[in-house]
């Protein structure tokens, strides 16, 4: 910690669920309970970019926090459409961006929501910004003798221990990280068939061995006891022009805005954390020893009430809800993979896309039959559309970084003038 100086920390959410408030409360109470001395030196700023359409919510579902919780939060920034419109007008009036650039940067999608949080944090002199997800909880689960063992995690403290000497710190994840359910392979869909399918649509950081392990555990990823016991951080190494990170349990050092990159995702796709990963070649990225539990299927919301199950449920592909979630994830993966290949493997792009298409053509009928869902064939249409538009999306990706550089330069040059009356 920095001696004699208040550290301004931002806790950022890009959310469409009002349940984020319960998750926020857990993190705040965890911090105040276990770090009372450090808490006096740290100013907590809450930044929430919310989407009212995601689950049919209203603005007060996000802005109305209990007075008990607010006493532990120094400043709040709720980022809705009116907030964005006001900031866009401010930037345009100062001749920093134009209307088209504003739509590019602050428009729709997950990346735009995260960018609005980044912008607000830098504009308000926040030193470090910790992104959290509304379905990730500060706890780790390991497995010993077929029993789930739970431990609390000091997420904010762990990031603060390392972030001042890094550009980015990223923790670990356990729980239901993957949307892939338990698969009982048979003559309809063999293990080889499914391996081909996953390798076709996934990115380089996903290996078949890791996917198979998750499948065998019923969709659960358990925390590594070695990480918990050793309690050491390590540098994230570059793999195929990327230092892979995740979008949550993610802290960004904002003390030098010129070293901060913006998020991007192709329209209708995800992958904003993956595309940020491709911008980090000259950045110091550290994996820090803290876990969050990802409740990806919204199965364990009572964890935050102290209900700690001894056994975690297998996620089996026997309901429309589970199958549809896996299908949506597959669509999301295939939508962003063409641009990822174009950025990281430009020389072999056409060859890789052709191979990807051939792999999918060979196994998608089997995937459709196994899950009894013909919609999986639409993955080929998505691949064709996003590969056809990959150069357009690449230009948007570059433009997003260019626009962000202009905004950061402006905010850095005159912070006093950059604050609205």
Other CB atoms within 10 Å distance of the CB of residue 302? 10
60-114 confidence digits (pLDDT tens): 999 999 999 999 999 999 999 999 999 999 999 999 999 999 998 998 889 999 9
Q: Are strands 168-175 and 285-294 parallel, antiparallel or unpaired?
A: parallel
User: What mean pLDDT do residues 159-169 have?
Assistant: 97
Higher pLDDT, 146 or 155: 155
What pLDDT shows up at residue 420? Answer: 47
Write down the residue that tokens 């910004």 correspond to.
129
What pLDDT shows up at residue 301? Answer: 83
**CA 123 – CA 221 distance, rounded (Å):** 38
Reported as a pLDDT band with limits 50, 70 and 90, residue 417 is low
User: What mean pLDDT do residues 276-292 have?
Assistant: 97
User: Model-level pTM greater than 0.85?
Assistant: yes
User: What mean pLDDT do residues 35-48 have?
Assistant: 82
Contact call for residues 62 and 143 (beta carbons, < 8 A): no
Other CB atoms within 10 Å distance of the CB of residue 182? 18
200-236 confidence digits (pLDDT tens): 998 766 778 888 988 988 889 999 999 999 999 999 9
Indicate whether 38 pLDDT > 70. no
Poorest-pLDDT segment among 38-42, 168-172, 194-198: 38-42
* CA angle in degrees (0–180, nearest 5) for 191-192-193: 90
Indicate whether 329 pLDDT > 70. yes
| Average per-residue pLDDT for the chain | 93
Pick the CATH number of 7-177+220-311+392-413 from 3.40.50.300, 3.90.550.10, 3.40.50.150, 3.40.50.2000: 3.90.550.10
What pLDDT shows up at residue 40? Answer: 73
Write down the domain spans for the chain.
7-177+220-311+392-413, 183-217+317-388
């Amino acid at each position: 910690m920095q001696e004699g100086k208040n550290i301004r920390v931002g806790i950022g959410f890009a959310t469409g669920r009002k349940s984020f408030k319960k998750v926020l409360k857990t993190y705040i109470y965890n911090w105040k309970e276990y770090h009372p001395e450090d808490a006096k030196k740290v100013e907590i700023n809450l930044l929430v970019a919310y989407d009212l359409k995601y689950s049919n919510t209203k603005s007060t579902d996000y802005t109305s926090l209990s007075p008990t919780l607010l006493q532990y939060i120094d400043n709040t920034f709720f980022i809705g459409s009116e907030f964005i419109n006001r900031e866009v007008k401010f930037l345009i009036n100062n001749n920093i961006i134009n209307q088209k650039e504003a739509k590019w940067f602050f428009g729709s999608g997950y990346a735009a929501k995260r960018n609005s949080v980044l912008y607000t944090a830098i504009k308000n002199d926040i030193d470090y910004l910790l992104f959290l997800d509304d379905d990730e909880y500060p706890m780790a689960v390991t497995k010993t003798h077929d029993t789930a063992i739970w431990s609390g995690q000091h997420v904010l403290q762990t990031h603060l221990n390392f972030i001042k000497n890094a550009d980015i710190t990223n923790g670990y994840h356990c729980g239901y990280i993957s949307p892939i359910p338990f698969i009982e392979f048979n003559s309809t869909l063999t293990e080889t068939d499914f391996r081909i399918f996953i390798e076709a649509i996934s990115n380089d950081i996903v290996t078949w061995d890791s996917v198979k392990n998750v499948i065998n555990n019923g969709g659960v990823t358990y925390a590594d006891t070695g990480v918990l016991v050793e309690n050491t951080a390590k540098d994230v190494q570059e793999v195929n022009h990327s230092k892979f990170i995740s979008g949550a349990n993610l802290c960004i050092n904002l003390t030098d805005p010129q070293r901060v990159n913006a998020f991007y995702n192709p329209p209708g796709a995800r992958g904003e954390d993956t595309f940020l990963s491709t911008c980090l070649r000259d950045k110091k990225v550290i994996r820090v020893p803290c876990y969050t539990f990802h409740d990806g299927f919204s199965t364990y919301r009572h964890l935050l009430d102290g209900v700690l199950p001894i056994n975690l449920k297998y996620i089996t592909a026997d309901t429309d809800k589970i199958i549809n979630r896996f299908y949506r994830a597959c669509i999301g993966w295939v939508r962003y993979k063409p641009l990822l290949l174009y950025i990281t493997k430009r020389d072999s792009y056409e060859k890789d896309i052709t191979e990807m298409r051939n792999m999918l053509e060979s196994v998608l009928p089997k995937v459709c039959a196994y899950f009894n869902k013909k919609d999986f064939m639409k993955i080929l249409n998505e691949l064709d559309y996003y590969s056809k538009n990959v150069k357009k999306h690449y230009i948007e990706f570059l433009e997003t970084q260019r626009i962000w550089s202009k905004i950061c330069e402006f905010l850095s040059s005159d912070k006093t003038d950059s604050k609205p009356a």
